[in-house]
Amino acid sequence: MPEADDTESRNYFADVPVENHGFHVRGANSLEWGQKNRLGRIFRKESGKTVMFAVDHGYFQGPTTGLERLDLTIPPLLDKADALMATRGAIRTSVDPAMDKAIVLRASGGPSILKELSNEQVAITLDDAIRINASALAVQMFVGGEFETQSIKNLTTLVDEGMRYGIPVMGVVAVGKELVRDARYFRLATRMGAELGAQIIKCYYTEEGFDTVVSTCPVPIVVAGGKKLPELDALIMARRSIDEGAAGVDMGRNIFQSANPRAMITAVSKVVHEGMSAEDAHELFNDLSNQ
């Protein structure tokens, strides 16, 4: 019989491989389990990346082209995405609750395109985000905008609430017409978001210096698609974003306004997760479109 306390004399773990749970999402190692679990639903463990399908445009601009019918646009594309970025209204009315994709829930809002867009407030309670089973909350950051401080306060409020319940926050860098969309601006805005607690940052790709935007931001950056481009150009942007360090894309118009949205999201996923070249992905897009 062993002694009452023979812990030191027995090697309980001799044959057990050590698993340190090194986590695949940048900057997330010190977060608690629930936050990591939610981030792990957004960013695939195998690639460390995500294809987020953004359909939250209606919250300030109404039924934009390609998103007139949420119920017809979202469901056929969901299986190709890792995460759906949407409002609670879109989700409750137009998305099957049995779907198994991560939800990145739009959590700020207020002004329409008819008003000053930076004048947003927090637009949801954490109770409701939990009811919807959100994997993250998305909040607009208007760095340099008229209501800059208010929008940053929205972010920190949601980070505090998110920390309470284990829900990460994605800071969305929103660029006003008057602001220069260069790497210097994005280094400022993305770093502010990360240092103020956002666990994911979304911003635009820059032709020059995007790698420095990524390297100076300690949390994952996902790249917004922006205005509709020819499919090949959008795929080139996705390829370059990933090559220069982005942890994925959060693409809306370049998918749902494409001539073939399903072929486009399939091609984007190949670029993001499988290292496919933009040219090969474009060929795939054409093949799928012609089937």
Which residues carry out catalysis?
A: 202
Please identify, using beta-carbon distances, which residue of 34 and 63 lies nearer to ligand R5P.
63
Residue 111 contacts ligand R5P per CB under 6 A:
no
Radius of gyration of the chain (CA): 20
Report which of 11, 42, 13 is spatially closest to residue 28, judged by C-alpha positions: 42
Q: Which stretch binds ligand R5P (CB under 6 A): 3-11, 224-232, 240-248, 264-272?
A: 224-232
Q: Which stretch binds ligand R5P (CB under 6 A): 76-84, 175-183, 222-230, 265-273?
A: 222-230
Structure tokens, 115: 């008003």
Report which of 86, 190, 115, 107 is spatially closest to residue 155, judged by C-alpha positions: 107
Q: Quickly count helices (H) and strands (E) in the chain.
A: 12, 10
Residue 261 contacts ligand R5P per CB under 6 A:
no
Residue 57 contacts ligand R5P per CB under 6 A:
yes
Q: Are the C-beta atoms of residues 44 and 82 closer than 8 Å to each other?
A: yes
Shortest Å distance, C-beta 251 to ligand R5P: 5
Shortest Å distance, C-beta 117 to ligand R5P: 9
Q: Are the C-beta atoms of residues 223 and 250 closer than 8 Å to each other?
A: yes
Angle of helix 261-274 versus helix 278-290 axis, rounded to 10: 150
Q: Name the region of 198 (left: φ>0; alpha: ψ -120 to 50; beta: rest).
A: beta
Site string for ligand R5P, 35-54 (x = CB under 6 A): -------------------x
Residue 224 contacts ligand R5P per CB under 6 A:
yes
Residue 172 contacts ligand R5P per CB under 6 A:
yes
Residues that bind ligand R5P (CB under 6 A): 54, 56-57, 85, 172, 174, 224-226, 250-254
